[in-house]
Homo-oligomer: A and B are copies of this chain.
């Protein structure tokens, strides 16, 4: 709980909801007739509507990126270190829009919403979403906000994929794209980890084919395992070593099959259990599928440079040395393609021990580079 709101915070914020009634056609062939997107905004839209920045969230993210919902909040929004007055995304300069993606579980229409056709939750009947679908839905949100062009679309990880997709789907509508700790597509290993997470959920007896809400249960075990395996990939080996090493939970070893012996086990179990109480299992499946499917270059026989030729944005790509989920090599693939496509691109590889999660952390060199880039954007 903040005893007082910090000066560099956007302060108390409230989410808003926007309903859409024009059907949205999806990559899967289906369409959503009606849907709602929940979003927050920080800062003020200027008169020429030229200072809007879109924040795209990653797998388990949501619209609440900065500030506090109440004075009782224990923590601010998930990217508060980067969004606020004087911060990298300076809300004195920019009008920031942050939404919960379609298919999410934090207010926007998703698997846990009521399906108007049946009167019961969509569950596994909710359509699978792709990054392209999200960008299309985000474009409609921009329309309702009167934003014809974003000064920048910004995202980390899966959010970076959305930022890239914006420059391909709507080249006229984005001036700058910031793709942080991202990748042009998943590797076989990335897909494999997602598949373990999905199998953990799908095989949980309380998943009930995705209709667990009607059974009054939650596939907690599956979600817990999915989060545990995900969490390992968010941290570097070094970061885990630094944080836990082989530190013991108690003073001595228990030597049995089920006790928590090491602190890292305790940490992972806690992370898994906490997550399983607040996240929707179908949304987790949907998010991992969106990651798997993302491969914009597939339309051009894998030629990413050719794919990005259509883009009109300038690009800023950032990666972190110890990120093994989306390693610097994956960011360099994006940079190489952008150079081959003769786009303006800044690239920074940040020396950071935290692994993939580094993009969420207040690392001085990262914040400095991020600020520098954002400060140079003309509005």
Number of interface residues of A (CB under 8 A): 58
Task: Assess whether B253 is in contact with A225, with CB atoms less than 8 Å apart.
Answer: no
Question: Could you say which of A38-46, A150-158, A282-290 contacts chain B?
Answer: A282-290
Contacts of A240 in B (CB 8 A): 187-189, 192
Copies, count: 2
Of the listed stretches A16-24, A73-81, A242-250, chain B binds: A242-250
Across the interface, do B255 and A188 meet the contact criterion of CB distance under 8 Å? no
Chain A interface SS verdict (over half): helix
A343 vs chain B, min Cβ distance (A): 24
- A264 touches B (CB below 8 Å): yes
When distances are taken between beta carbons in the complex, the residues of chain B under 8 Å from A243 are 188
- Contact residues of A between 167 and 200, Cβ < 8 Å to B: 185-189, 191-193, 195-196, 198-200
Listed in ascending order, the chain A residues whose CB lies under 8 Å from chain B are: 27-29, 124, 127-128, 130, 185-189, 191-193, 195-196, 198-200, 202-203, 205, 210, 221, 224-225, 228-229, 232, 235, 237, 240-241, 243-246, 253, 255-258, 261-262, 264-265, 268-269, 272, 282, 285-286, 289, 292-293, 295, 324
User: 7 other contacts beyond A196-B228, A229-B229, A253-B293, with CB at 8 A cut-off?
Assistant: A189-B240, A192-B265, A195-B269, A196-B268, A198-B257, A203-B225, A324-B324
**Can you identify 8 A-B contacts, CB atoms within 8 angstroms?**
A128-B255, A130-B255, A187-B240, A188-B241, A192-B228, A202-B257, A203-B224, A324-B324
